[in-house]
Structure formats: structure tokens, C-alpha cells
């Protein structure tokens, strides 16, 4: 049967897989399998696959179950589900069979990260209890009495987070759950104004290592994360001798001698420096970077719309405590790289792919792998043999049904000689020597990368007859610290030079119609789209999605406020000269020159780039009688709507994009 062209609706047929965790005996991989239901929702359940490719489903029903973790003895699986509402609880399921049993008795609130203790007796987890007036019981009581929703009140700048909402003065703390009794207790809290805790058990199960800010006002002070050891009585002490800067993903070595972490001693709040792999003696002392001789960043993420977004570091110890495994984004790929404690590193996985891995056991590393033409599947890497094995084929039927177009990579040269990595996807039914309309896609971040992973949106555009071009201009991760820091506090300069190089390259390709080109992007990509239309006339139309337009107003309207003279020179109040520093890098400042028709997409619930950023774009265009269409998604959606939003709204967005390009290109 001949394959057909891919459509927006094929999003509903994708099987999303993630969070691979290998069993302690190294024989099975537990993973999350997510699908879109007929009720316009995502349903996640736990599955496993053995090393011969045999699948097993562990959870079922209409309530999702995720975050599956093998017990240290491999006899139980821990997971979180909201099957008893409101709120989530921990559940245990025996691997020998039987129904899942509720383990915890938590009040209404939100569970964060969690880990088994190595002896299997406890679970360490972060949890944020709901304030009394925010519980479902309180809401129903108000409705019954006809009372209004109470006002939101905060005395802290840390009161909201995109995708999380307005939590005001509610805070996470670190808790411990007793597996035998199901009882929980708060272990550690109140470290700073924010409540970000990364943690890991000691190998003897007697302590937890915790990373958090040592600052009183973390959102405004220079970054100063520190490492603390906390015993089971809640007594904490700080490891001495560590530098300031960012730190995260602590991992205690199996032999107890070392604590590894990802960190940048010179970090500012936009994270454009390399986050390196460090080790420090577990008793404290001088930290040593294992990745300093490379130009790798531990938090370089490859963006896509068919996999979960992950921006933290992935670090796991080898079982002999002599090396560590990390996920490294480089030149559009993400690979598993092994770092030796004595120095040196080697890339373990191969080809132009994106690997995301979980735990390590018996010399096997479970992963989810995807590439530019294949959706994610579960497999593993065998450290001893050096062999990669893909075990699942959950998206086989999808790929047998639809046509996709394979990207071709090119390296461009900017006006100053800088090399820029780019890809081009020709129309799925491309015919020579015809010229086609083309779309330049600009990624968000900006400190992330496009690359070798399946991008449904790109394939939909190619199927609709467009050439799709996407690049990693300066500011992107994955090309070394100099490439990333080239736009430090200075957007619209070297990144703009690289976008111009891509534009000129497009205009000179025999299969692209130079008068039929469009530009689009989301978040920082929306910023650059706005910048492009204010600085050139090369594009016939544009789409700006969840954009940044005005750095002056964004400085105080984002969930992560800008800090005076930190990443950006200048500030949003006070000295007019400081305000002008931000204003001159704001795309809206140049909108008196814009006559490009624009589709504007934004979520009203976006707390990262507030919708007021797009409102300014829309009004500036309308004031000048420039064609503009403003699509506002509801308060229940967030900054990540294109990747994680309600399925029907994701489809609506894709059709808005297709209709706009059909009209203008």
C-alpha cells in the first residue's frame, strides 16, 4: 500500500515513549508510554520490554501512571498516579503480579522528584502541600456558599512558574516516606526564598545529598548553589570548598567517596556558559571538573515536538565508581558520553540521533532513541560490547503509513566567517526543477539546539509543499561555549548575522522561490522573527509564536525576572540610560519599519513570555494598518503549548500555521 502525506491529525497516532529505567538485574526496561485518547487528553501508562523485545503492560485504566521506578531488589515498582482524586499518591506494584496498592497518604498537593533509598526502605521525594484555601474541598465549599475566589497574595518574587501556575507562598520541601508503614515526614525545607531541591541518596541509605541556592534572594542575587548532606533526622551540613555558581543533578558514587554534579561557577541566570561535570569528595574539599578539556555542556538540549522537553543534566555513575555516563548535546545530536575519573572521555552511542537515557545496571544503559525521520523507541547500550540495540517498534505502523522527508545538513558561513549548522527539508513530493516556497524556522531558548530528532511540525510543512530550513545560530548550545556566549546580553547581533546567512543561502537555492519565503519561530524564535521583520524585507510573511518583543516590559512580567546588569546590560526601571539599553535590543522598538503580514500565536496562561508581549506586536501592526491575525489560546495553556498543550489546540495551531502560509506563500 503506498504511503500518504503526513497531516496535523497524525499527531493523534503517535506513541510517545520516555523515562527508560532498567531493572536491577539488567534484564528489563521500564518506560512510560503516552498516547492521545478520544477524550482529547494524554494517557500515560507503564510498560516494560525485556532484552529480547517482549513487551509487558504494567498499569491500565483511565488515570495516568508515570515515573515508574524499580525497587532496589527488583521485586516492586513504585509510581505516581492521581487515580484517587484530588492529587497524586505513590503506589506500589509487585513484579510477580497483582494489583497496585496505594502506599502514601499525602494531603492534597503536588509531588515532585522522588527516589528509592538503596536499601529499599524509604522514598525521598519533594512535595508541595496545597494551601488550605486552594484545596478542592475549599473550592467546593465556596461554590456551595456562593463565595468568590479569594485573592492571590504574595510577599515573595517567587510565586509563579510557567506550566505550574500561581503557587504564591506555597513551597516544596524534601520528605521521606517509610515503605513499610506508608508514613511520611518532612526532612528538609526553608532553605531559601525559592524551593528548588535536587537530591540523591547516599549508598548506605543514611543520608541524602541536597543541592539548593545558598542565597536569601536567589532570583536577584548572583547564583550560588551549594551542596548539603542531610541525615534522616533532618540535620544538615554544607560541603565546604565549593565555588559559587549553578549546580544540579547531584549523584553520590556507589563506593561513597564522591559526589558528582553538573555546574558552572560563572553562571548567570540565562545559563549560556558550559555546565561542566564535576566531582567533589563526599566529605567536602576541592571540586574537579571532568569535562573541562572538552567544550561540552551538560545541559545542552535537542528540541523537538514529539518528545518530552528536558533541560537538566543527565548523570549516572558506573557501578564500579570509576566513571560517569552523561547525555551530551553536540552538533544537533544527543549522545551518551562516558567520563573517566582519571581523565578523558569517549562517546558511546553513534550516528545522527538523539538519545535520552535513564538508570544504569549490569553494564547496560536504557535509552529512548529518535532521529530526524523516526519517532522515539526504547533500547539499550551494552557498555562491555559497545553495542546499541533498539527493542521496541511502537511507531512502526505510523511510519509504514506516512511519508516523511529526510533533512539534508549544510554548514553556512556568516559575514564574519563564523560557521553555522543548518538543515533543509525539501517538500515530501519534491520534483526538479520546480521552485518551492520556503519557511525559515528559528528555535527557542535561545540556549538550546535543533537537530536530529523527529519534528512533526517540520514534516507537516514539507508535506504541504514547503521547503523547511532550520539552523543553530550563535546563541545555540551544542557548538561550544564561544558559540553560545556570542550573544550574551546582546541579542539581534551575531545571531542576526547567522540568520542573514541562512536567508541569503535560501535565496540562492535553485529549488527555492526567493520571493516566496516566510519566517517563523517560538519564544526566543519569536523574538528573532520579530527582529527579522523589523530589519529586512526578505520575507513575504511571518509567524511569531509565544514571542518576546519588549525586554523592558518582559523584565518584570516573566516568571524569571531580569536582573539589573546581569545577563542583560540595563534594567527596566530607574535610570533612563539603563532602560534604553534594554529598549535598543527590543524588536518592538523597530516596528515602525514593519510591513510584513504576521500571524501572532500566544497562550494566555504563558508565564514565561507573558501574552502582553504579543499584544504589543499586534497593536503596533494594527496601528500601521499591517495585516495581522492574533490567535490567543486559553488560560489553561502555557508556554509549552506546541509540545504539551491539549491535543485539539495543538491541531488548531498547526492548521492556523498551514492556512497562513497557504494564504501568503
Using one digit for the tens of pLDDT, what is the confidence trace for 61-81? 999 999 999 999 999 999 999
SS3 at position 472: strand
Q: Which of 523, 549, 603, 642 is catalytic?
A: 523
Q: Contact at 8 Å (CB) between 297 and 289?
A: no
Q: What is the model's pLDDT at position 84?
A: 87
Residue 659 lies in a domain: yes
Is pLDDT of 292 > 90? yes
CA neighbor of 454 nearest in space, from 641, 328, 306, 300: 306
Span 177-214, pLDDT tens digits: 999 999 999 999 976 788 989 999 999 999 999 999 99
C-alpha distances in Å from residue 331, one per residue of 326, 353, 484, 607:
16, 10, 12, 30
Span 460-511, pLDDT tens digits: 999 999 999 999 999 999 999 999 999 999 999 999 999 999 999 999 999 9
CATH at 507: 3.40.50.1820
Residue 440 lies in a domain: yes
SS3 at position 481: helix
CA neighbor of 156 nearest in space, from 120, 192, 198: 192
Q: Contact at 8 Å (CB) between 268 and 567?
A: yes
| Distance from the Cα of residue 367 to its chain's centroid | 17
Residue 153 lies in a domain: no
Is pLDDT of 635 > 90? yes
Span 612-626, pLDDT tens digits: 999 999 999 999 999
When pLDDT is averaged across residues 572-592 and rounded to a whole number, the result is 97
Is pLDDT of 557 > 90? yes
Q: Which three cell numbers stand for residue 624?
A: 500601521
Q: What is the model's pLDDT at position 85?
A: 84
Q: What is the model's pLDDT at position 86?
A: 86
| % of residues, the chain, pLDDT over 90 | 95
When pLDDT is averaged across residues 356-379 and rounded to a whole number, the result is 97
Q: What is the model's pLDDT at position 193?
A: 81
b/e map 14-29, b = 16+ CB within 10 Å: bbbbbbbbbbeebebb
Separation of alpha carbons 611 and 546, rounded Å:
7
Is pLDDT of 578 > 80? yes
Residue 380 lies in a domain: no
The CB density around residue 405, as the number of other CB atoms within 10 Å, is: 23
Q: What is the model's pLDDT at position 1?
A: 81
Q: Which three cell numbers stand for residue 559?
A: 516568571
Residue 504 lies in a domain: yes
b/e map 286-324, b = 16+ CB within 10 Å: ebeebbeebebbbbbbbbbbbbbeeeebbbbbbeebebb
Q: Is 462 exposed, middle or buried (0-12, 13-18, 19+ CB in 10 A)?
A: buried
Span 334-349, pLDDT tens digits: 999 999 999 999 999 9
Q: Which three cell numbers stand for residue 293?
A: 578539556
Residue 527 lies in a domain: yes
Q: Structural domain tally of the chain?
A: 1
Span 259-277, pLDDT tens digits: 999 999 998 878 899 999 9
Is pLDDT of 569 > 90? yes
Q: Which three cell numbers stand for residue 264?
A: 558552572
Sign (positive or negative) of CA dihedral 448, 450, 453, 458: positive
Residue 598 lies in a domain: yes
Residue 498 lies in a domain: yes
Q: Which of 212, 602, 639, 664 is catalytic?
A: 639
pTM, to two decimals: 0.97
- The answer to whether 345 is a known catalytic residue is no
Range of the domain at 425: 405-550+586-664
- The answer to whether 639 is a known catalytic residue is yes
Helix axes 494-507, 524-535, angle to 10 degrees: 70
Q: What is the model's pLDDT at position 270?
A: 80
Separation of alpha carbons 292 and 342, rounded Å:
13
Amino acid at each position: 500500500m503506498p504511503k500518504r502525506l503526513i497531516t496535523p491529525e497524525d499527531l493523534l497516532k503517535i506513541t510517545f515513549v520516555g523515562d527508560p529505567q532498567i531493572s536491577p538485574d539488567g534484564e528489563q526496561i521500564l518506560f512510560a508510554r503516552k498516547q492521545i485518547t478520544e477524550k482529547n487528553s494524554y494517557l500515560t501508562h507503564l510498560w516494560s520490554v525485556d532484552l529480547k523485545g517482549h513487551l509487558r503492560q504494567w498499569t491500565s485504566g483511565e488515570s495516568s501512571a508515570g515515573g515508574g521506578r524499580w525497587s532496589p531488589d527488583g521485586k516492586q515498582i513504585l509510581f505516581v498516579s492521581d487515580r484517587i482524586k484530588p492529587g497524586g499518591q505513590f503506589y506500589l506494584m509487585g513484579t510477580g503480579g497483582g494489583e497496585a496498592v496505594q502506599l502514601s497518604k499525602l494531603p492534597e498537593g503536588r509531588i515532585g522528584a522522588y527516589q528509592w533509598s538503596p536499601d529499599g526502605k524509604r522514598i525521598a521525594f519533594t512535595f508541595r502541600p496545597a494551601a488550605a484555601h486552594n484545596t478542592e474541598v475549599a473550592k467546593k465549599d465556596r461554590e456551595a456558599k456562593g463565595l468568590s475566589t479569594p485573592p492571590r497574595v504574595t510577599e515573595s518574587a517567587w510565586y509563579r512558574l510557567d506550566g505550574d501556575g500561581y503557587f504564591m507562598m506555597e513551597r516544596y520541601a524534601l520528605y521521606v516516606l517509610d515503605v513499610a508503614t506508608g508514613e511520611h515526614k518532612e526532612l528538609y525545607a526553608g532553605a531559601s526564598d525559592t524551593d528548588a531541591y535536587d537530591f540523591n541518596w547516599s549508598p548506605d541509605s543514611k543520608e541524602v545529598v541536597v543541592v539548593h541556592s545558598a542565597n536569601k534572594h536567589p532570583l536577584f542575587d548572583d547564583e550560588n548553589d551549594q551542596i548539603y548532606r542531610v541525615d534522616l533526622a533532618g540535620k544538615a551540613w554544607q560541603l565546604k570548598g565549593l565555588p559559587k555558581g549553578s549546580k544540579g543533578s547531584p549523584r553520590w558514587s556507589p563506593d561513597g567517596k564522591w559526589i558528582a554534579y553538573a555546574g558552572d561557577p560563572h553562571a548567570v541566570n540565562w545559563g549560556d556558559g558550559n555546565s561542566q561535570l564535576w566531582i567533589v569528595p563526599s566529605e567536602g574539599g576541592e571540586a574537579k571538573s571532568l569535562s573541562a578539556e572538552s567544550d561540552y555542556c551538560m545541559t545542552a538540549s535537542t528540541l523537538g515536538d514529539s518528545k518530552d522537553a528536558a533541560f537538566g543534566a543527565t548523570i549516572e555513575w558506573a557501578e564500579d565508581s570509576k566513571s560517569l555516563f552523561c547525555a551530551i548535546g553536540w552538533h544537533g545530536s544527543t549522545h551518551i558520553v562516558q567520563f573517566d575519573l582519571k581523565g578523558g572521555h569517549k562517546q558511546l552511542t553513534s550516528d545522527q540521533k538523539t538519545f535520552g537515557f535513564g538508570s544504569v545496571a549490569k553494564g547496560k544503559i536504557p535509552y529512548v532513541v529518535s532521529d530526524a525521520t523516526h519517532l522515539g523507541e526504547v533500547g539499550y547500550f551494552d557498555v562491555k560490547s559497545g553495542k546499541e540495540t533498539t527493542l521496541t517498534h511502537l511507531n512502526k505502523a505510523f511510519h509504514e503509513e506516512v511519508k516523511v522527508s529526510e533533512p539534508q545538513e549544510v554548514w553556512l558561513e556568516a559575514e564574519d566567517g563564523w560557521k553555522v549548522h543548518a538543515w533543509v527539508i525539501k517538500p515530501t513530493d519534491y520534483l526538479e526543477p520546480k521552485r518551492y516556497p520556503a519557511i525559515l524556522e528559528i528555535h527557542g531558548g535561545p540556549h538550546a539546539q535543533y537537530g536530529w530528532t523527529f519534528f512533526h511540525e517540520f514534516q507537516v510543512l514539507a508535506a504541504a509543499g514547503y521547503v523547511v530550513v532550520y539552523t543553530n545560530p550563535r546563541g545555540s548550545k551544542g557548538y561550544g561555549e564561544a558559540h553560545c556566549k556570542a550573544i550574551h546580553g546582546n541579542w539581534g547581533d551575531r545571531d542576526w548575522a547567522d540568520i542573514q546567512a541562512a536567508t541569503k543561502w535560501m535565496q540562492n537555492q535553485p529549488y527555492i522561490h526567493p520571493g516566496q519565503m516566510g519566517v517563523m519561530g517560538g519564544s526566543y524564535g519569536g523574538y528573532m522573527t520579530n527582529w527579522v521583520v523589523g530589519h529586512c524585507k526578505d520575507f513575504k510573511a511571518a509567524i511569531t509564536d509565544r514571542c518576546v518583543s519588549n525586554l523592558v516590559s518582559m523584565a518584570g512580567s516573566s516568571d524569571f525576572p531580569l536582573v539589573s546588569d546581569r545577563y542583560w546590560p540595563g534594567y527596566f526601571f530607574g535610570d533612563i540610560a539603563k532602560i534604553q539599553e534594554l529598549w535598543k535590543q527590543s524588536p518592538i522598538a523597530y516596528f515602525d519599519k514593519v510591513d510584513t503580514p504576521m500571524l501572532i500565536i500566544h497562550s494566555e496562561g504563558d508565564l514565561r513570555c507573558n501574552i502582553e508581549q504579543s499584544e504589543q506586536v499586534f497593536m503596533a501592526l494594527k496601528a500601521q494598518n499591517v495585516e495581522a491575525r492574533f490567535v490567543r489560546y486559553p488560560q489553561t495553556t502555557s508556554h509549552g503549548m506546541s509540545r504539551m498543550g491539549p491535543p485539539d489546540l495543538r491541531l488548531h495551531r498547526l492548521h492556523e500555521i498551514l492556512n497562513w502560509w497557504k494564504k501568503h506563500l
